Chains A and B, each alone.
Chain A
Amino acid sequence: MTSMTMIEAIRDAHMVAMERDDTVVVFGEDVGYFGGVFRCTQGLQERFGDHRCFDTPISEAGIVGAAVGMAAYGLRPCVEIQFADYMYPAYDQIVSEAARLRHRSAGDFTAPLVIRMPTGGGIFGGQTHSQSPEALFTHVAGLKTVVVSNPYDAKGLLIAAIEDDDPVIFLEPKRVYNGPFDGHPDRPIVPWSKHPLGEVPEGHYRIEVGTARLHREGSDLTVLTYGTMVHVAEAAAEEHGLDAEIIDLRTLVPLDVDTIVASVTKTGRCLVMHEATLTSGFGAELAATVQERCMFHLEAPIIRVCGWDTPYPHAHEWSYFPGPARVGYAMRELMDA
């Protein structure tokens, strides 16, 4: 075991995957020489050469489209979109090409590729550098969508995603790159070196796509969440003295429904949280699933705490962000219902 930040863990996952399988190639804007704006691909070009890790022009549609073609003919591209907010020019390639190739060719061609994107706010990026667009992917049949919350999972999931035979959207909340951010921007950053999930095994291991993780066991209520909000939920529960069971979904599609059902059946109360805007967010899917599967075990209506239905504000980002105060308030409401 080595202590790693999430950036180092992602880097290490690339290293391991590229070492084991020389069909794995990495490309994107500034990922080669520069090592990526968040440094997630640092050292790959030195180690594997510029034919396996290379820079692209600012061409998101080209990056994803080329990855689809390469994947169809036997390579395993793992590409980076510098910020999830820059994904939109590539959306056609993601939806119409990557996601649908297998189905429309009746399995003749497939697109085993990974598209990594940093997501989320908390760096004063305003509306064009803070988005969490996971629901735009989960709505598309043919894509798998992963959101990571810590170094241990990030490495195992990225390796599994690269080895997956379907296209995987791999979302990395930038606020947890360097530590388990609990939603208190005014407090000093806790580094991953002080957190058990910052302990990362060396070499190859997989965390299967489609499996949730029980982040904290509890009996008062179930929190269904992912990414940065896992840590926010933990802080909020602690601050409000509640014994919350927190499930880090890790993969949104395919969803680990069994883990969700087992927990909500046990606690009878369910809080759904994400940083993305509320309306048509993935939380709606979660609430519907819980309602369908756990209706007769529920002791209170399901509550969602999410980003507002506005673009991500610049100056007020910490109000938009569903921090411990808002989450704690919702938890109390859920307990009192």
Chain B
Amino acid sequence: MTAITNEVLAELGPGLLADMIRVREFEERCAQLYGETKIRGFLHLYIGEEAVAAGVLHCLEPDDAVLATYREHGHALLRGLSARSIMAEMFGRREGCSGGRGGSMHLFDASLGFFGGNAIVGGHLPVAVGLGLAAQMQKQDRVTACFFGEGAMAEGEFHEAMNLAALWNAPVLFCCENNRYAMGTSLETSESETNLAIKAASYEMPAWTVDGMDVLAVRAATERALTLIRAGGGPVFLELQTYRFRAHSMFDPDKYRDPAEVEVWRTRDPIATFGQALIADGILTTEEIESIQQAAVAEVDDAVAFADAGTLEPIEELARHVYRRVDGVQAAEVQR
């Protein structure tokens, strides 16, 4: 674990652990609900990677903006979207954060600066640069944190975004969640330079490799990066090395990884290791961790009940928000 004083750890540790547990609990339940066909379509779980979202989001201010991928339930939850609104969205209910229109991959909440849920790999990266530039031009202190998988680094949009961000000094924190596989494609078969920080640094921005299984390391790196960005230093790139314990999605038979490799990474489970460290340091007891767990279960139970009781958006309203409605003129029609 990263060096940190015991007082600081006592102050931050329980919250960070609780964050990770909430995400884990939420997603374990999602997997179950998928089996029950309550959640349908695509479902990408973040299980194993929780320290990344927990460590980064912990450091952000309410005004900052966050963009994530389709593996974003945890980011949404830790950004402050209620478990209810996320679960309802996953059920396709109008009470969901995107009115039931987006589903699992498209969670949004403007009031919390949560800009998706982005299902097209790499598509949100140039947009993140724009969010950053808007803050710069409007002289606001807002930082944009943009999460993406290492697989996105093969897309042209990644390279355009990196160049523009560095060229224009945009206040963007690029958070590469390197879980070593893009669906079935390993890092080695996908990148000419597998040291992703070196690749990013060639765009003339600070780029560091971080142990993404260690929530304190993630938090420390993020703090350092944000200090630079907020001081006007332009974008920073973090390569957060992590691992997904589950398959890519519910459709993936997960045959491309050696089960032994998965087992090795499981021994580094960010929740188990951090929980044990907090117990060893006398900051939390087993019972206290158990009660954090119980609270997370209760939160998810409540979210599921809420989503279950939810309703579907009336079909007639689906044409809303295609365009802004002007003087009763509706360009898009829903015909029955």
Contacts and interface: CB of A to CB of B under 8 A. Distances in A.
Say whether A associates with B.
yes
Interface of A: 29-30, 33-34, 37, 55, 57-62, 85-86, 88-89, 123-129, 278, 308-311, 313-316, 319-320, 326
Contact of B106 (A34, A124, A126): A126
Contacts of A309: 319, 322, 331-333
Interface string B320-336: 00100000000111111
B89 to A, nearest CB: 9
Contacts of A62: 154, 156
B119 A311 contact: no
Contact of A315 (B191, B312, B335): B312
Contacts of A311: 322
Contacts of B93: 315
A177 B16 CA distance: 45
Interface of B: 40-42, 92-93, 100-103, 105-106, 119-122, 151-152, 154-157, 182-185, 189-191, 251, 255-256, 312-313, 315, 318-319, 322, 331-336
A296 B11 CA distance: 83
Nearest 6 pairs between A and B by C-beta? Answer: A124-B41, A315-B92, A57-B154, A34-B184, A128-B119, A57-B190
B257 to A, nearest CB: 11
B42 A310 contact: no
Contact of A29 (B185, B251, B312, B331): B185
Nearest to A322: B335
- Main secondary structure, interface of B, reads loop
B41 A126 contact: yes
Contacts of B103: 124, 126, 314-315
Nearest to A309: B332
A38 to B, nearest CB: 9
A314 B251 CA distance: 18
A56 to B, nearest CB: 8
Contact of A126 (B105, B122, B157, B312): B105
B42 A125 contact: yes
A319 B92 CA distance: 14
A59 B185 CA distance: 12
12 contacts: A33-B256, A34-B255, A58-B152, A58-B190, A89-B122, A124-B103, A125-B42, A278-B335, A310-B322, A311-B322, A315-B93, A316-B315
A37 B251 contact: yes
A50 to B, nearest CB: 10
Contact of A308 (B251, B312, B334): B334
